[in-house]
């Protein structure tokens, strides 16, 4: 009898090559072993009976839905580049893709704003849901819930990574090689990593815009430096 597959939960921080990682992880499991939950609202459905979870939810959001012995994974990206990538993606994505989920998909209002506003205007938003995606998002994902109103500082996120033994990969390094080596150790095999959601126009930010992003992501920047 073959050994049971490990239980894995990937905390998918937007625009950190997460879709590619999800595809690689899914290749090891039968479809019925993979939770269909992708957004915070999906967690209202029972999560028992699965072995793989991946979606846009934070540690505190998912923790009560998965076994205690689950293995947590996450990918990080330079915070400035991550926000620029998210803005570019939202600005260029087909709005019709989100229209039918306007009431349930938190990205809808971010997409609407990105397609109507300059980056400077976008960064000055007071919309809490959008801010949770562009201001210290990594800290929220790794230490709390993605909609936590309180700003989680980088030291709390770092402590959470250590306490919950979250394996973190840096998109800015040789992600393909590092992830392949990790999956080889975990599963005894390593699928090729196929990069997805990387197309589209790349936004070139001004020094002023970069400074504004840095101001919104002080803790994420310190966390990224500490973990990479």
Taking only the tens place, the pLDDT of each residue in 193-208 is: 777 666 566 789 999 9
Angle at the Cα of 13 (from 12 to 15), degrees rounded to 5? 110
Indicate the Cα dihedral angle 129, 194, 80, 228, nearest 10°.
Answer: 110
Q: At what angle do helices 18-26 and 175-187 cross, to 10 degrees?
A: 30
What pLDDT was estimated at residue 104? 62
CA–CA separation, 83 and 137 (whole Å)? 10
What pLDDT was estimated at residue 194? 77
Phi-psi region at 226: left, alpha or beta (left = phi > 0; alpha = psi -120 to 50)? alpha
Q: Which of 142, 114, 138, 139 is closest to 127 using CA atoms?
A: 114
DSSP letter at 39 equals B
Q: Which of 38, 85, 112, 78 is closest to 198 using CA atoms?
A: 85
Q: Which of 182, 177, 171 is closest to 193 using CA atoms?
A: 177
Query: Stretch 4-28: mean pLDDT, rounded?
Result: 96
Q: Is the pLDDT of residue 84 over 60?
A: yes
Mean pLDDT of the chain: 91
The pLDDT-based confidence of 97 (bands split at 50, 70, 90) is confident
Q: Where are the domains of the chain?
A: 8-78+140-187, 82-134+200-220
């Amino acid at each position: 009898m073959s050994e049971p597959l490990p239980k894995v939960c990937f905390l998918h921080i937007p625009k950190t090559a997460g879709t590619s990682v999800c595809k690689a992880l899914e290749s090891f499991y039968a479809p019925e072993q993979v939770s269909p939950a992708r957004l915070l609202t999906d967690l209202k459905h029972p999560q028992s009976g699965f072995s793989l979870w991946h979606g846009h939810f934070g540690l505190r959001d998912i923790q009560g839905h998965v076994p205690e012995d689950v293995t947590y994974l996450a990918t990080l990206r330079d915070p400035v580049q991550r926000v620029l990538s998210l803005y570019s993606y939202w600005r260029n994505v087909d709005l019709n893709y989100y229209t039918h989920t306007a009431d349930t998909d938190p990205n809808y209002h971010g997409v609407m704003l990105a397609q109507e506003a300059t980056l400077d205007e976008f960064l000055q938003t007071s919309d809490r849901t959008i801010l949770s995606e562009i201001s210290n998002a990594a800290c929220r994902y790794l230490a709390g819930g993605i909609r936590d109103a309180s700003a989680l500082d980088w030291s709390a996120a770092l402590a959470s990574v250590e306490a919950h033994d979250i394996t973190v990969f840096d998109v800015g390094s040789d992600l393909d090689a590092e992830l392949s080596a990790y999956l080889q150790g975990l599963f005894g095999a390593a699928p090729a990593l196929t990069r997805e959601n990387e197309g589209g126009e790349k936004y070139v930010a001004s020094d002023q815009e970069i400074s504004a992003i840095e101001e919104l992501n002080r803790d994420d920047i310190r966390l990224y430096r500490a973990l990479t």
